[in-house]
Every structure is written in structure tokens, then in C-alpha cells.
Structure 1
């Protein structure tokens, strides 16, 4: 019979290490896996009720945040293939959640925006995830939230980081306050 493994030391809030052990790094990676799993599960439940998945959620989110976004811009944001995006977009358009219009300046462009039904679904998805984020951010406090955002931003590939931060529109001002 194997003995239970001892639990790692409890996370401390003010740990300031110049050197991180492999166990500490592994713990951070595992926490990211579990946090992502539970964060997306909130939205997954709402999506599953309607027969959609995470790819639909990502499309809906960025179309909602940027009405009039072109398909080319959405491809760049999501870093997916045109084929996979078109499959998801066709379904969202067919189901009446997204409308696609020809661009005024460039008729080759397809500009995307949510319909009222699409906006309703996005609000349901956002409410599901915002409740978790609000609770956790309030419990953690402003300094921890600022640190969390700094860590997440630092994990984005350096070549794309500035563009992503501009996309997010929150440059994480000093002190973590907006």
C-alpha cells in the first residue's frame, strides 16, 4: 500500500523569492491548469445548454467587445485557422447570434457584430465568469489583483504582448487601480 504524499507547503501571500524551485514552478503550472478548468467550466455550463463550445465563446466574446470587427482581425486575435473559424462563424450566423456584413470601404471584408440574441448569450456567459472573478478579486485585494494581471501579461509571448494589452484596454496602472 502506498503512503499518501505530503501536501506542499501552504501558499504564502508575501513570498518574495529570487529563486524558484522546480516544485514551486510545478505548483504554479498546476494551479493554472485547475484555475482555467474551473473558470471555463462556469461558461461551459451555459454553452452546453445551447449546444456550443469554447470556440463559440471566444468568437462571441471578441465580436461583442469590438462590434464591426473584421473576420481577418478575429483570425489574428484568436490565432486559429480560417477553416476552423469559418465553421464556428457559420453556425453562429445560422443560429442568429452573429451577423456578417460586407465592409463599406473594402467590400472584400466581412464585418461582424452580435445580434440581440448573441448579446443575451454573451451577457449570460460574462455573468457566469464575472461572479467568480469578482469574488476572487475582492477576497485577494487590489495588490494581489495587480500582481495577478502582471503575471498573466508576462506569460503572453513577448512579440504579441503589446498588441494583446492594447486589445484588453487595461494597461494595469500602478497600484492595480483603474
Structure 2
């Protein structure tokens, strides 16, 4: 078992290069399962981001999704259309502005998004558990 009392001083001593390397490996682990699930459907990470933010913001307008993702309409158009064609996202006219479209996940889209993000939550759960966070905040971890 690793003595966790030395982790913080050890992190302080690490060079930025080592931290970047650790970040790379952490990111690879964080995206591995979602990438596998996406690939099986012919999708990519951009599709996961769209599913994630539409799922967190039901009835979001396309303009709001563009703002959250920080992409252009052109960059969003093809992956969003693909998700809609696959029956994972549906659009409906905005209540007050019929020209605007509101997006929401379909039941199938909710299942896929839950599988994708659920894999990431499972990976993060031990690191961000309440008990662990409390121990760190009082210096016991």
C-alpha cells in the first residue's frame, strides 16, 4: 500500500514535464472506454461532447450549444446531424421563436450518454469520494 502522506510534497517536487506526462496517461484512461463505445457506433469524441451537453441542458437551443462547445456552426453541423439521423438527439421548434431549434436526447441518446459518461464517473468516483475529499481537506489522506 502506498503511503499517501507523502503525495503532496512529491507532487510539488515533480517537474512540469512529469506532470504533463501523468496528465496524458490520465486523459488516455479517462477517454478509453467512451472511445471504445463511440467507435462501435462509428462516432467520435465530438459526438460524446454534444450528447453530454444536450443531456445536461434539455431543450437547449443550437446557439446555446455552440456557445458551450466553443465551435462554429459549420463544425457542429455534421456531427449533430449524424446524431439526429441515428435517433440519439431530436429537435423541436423553440416555443417563442419558431426559427430556433431546441435539442434534447431521445431515450436511446440518454442510454448512450449514460454509458459514456458513466464510465468516466466510475473512473473518477474513488478519487472524488466525499470521505477522500474530507480526509484531504483535514490533512489525513
TM over 0.5: yes
| Count of residue correspondences | 133
Deviations 1:31-58 (A, max 9, x none): 2221111101121111111111100000
The partner residue of 1:119 within 91, 100, 110 is: 110
**What residue ranges of structure 2 are gaps of 5+ in the alignment?**
1-5
Q: Is the 8 A contact 1:137 1:145 kept in 2?
A: no
Match of 2:18 in 1: 27
Structure 1 residues without counterparts, runs of 5 or longer: 1-11, 147-174
Runs of 4+ aligned structure 1 residues displaced above 4 Å come to 143-146
TM-score by length of 2: 0.82
Over the aligned positions, Cα root-mean-square deviation in angstroms equals 2.5
Q: RCO higher in 1 or 2 (8 Å CA, sep ≥ 6)? A: 2
- CA–CA distance in 1 between the matches of 2:100 and 2:47? 21
C-alpha change, 1:37 and 1:76, in structure 2 (3 Å) is same
TM-score of the aligned structures, taking structure 1 as reference length: 0.66
Contact 1:71 1:110 in 2 (8 A): yes
The residue number in structure 2 matching 1:3 is: none
Q: 2:43 aligns with which of 45, 48, 52?
A: 52
Give yes or no for contact 1:99–1:114 (8 Å, CA) kept in 2: yes
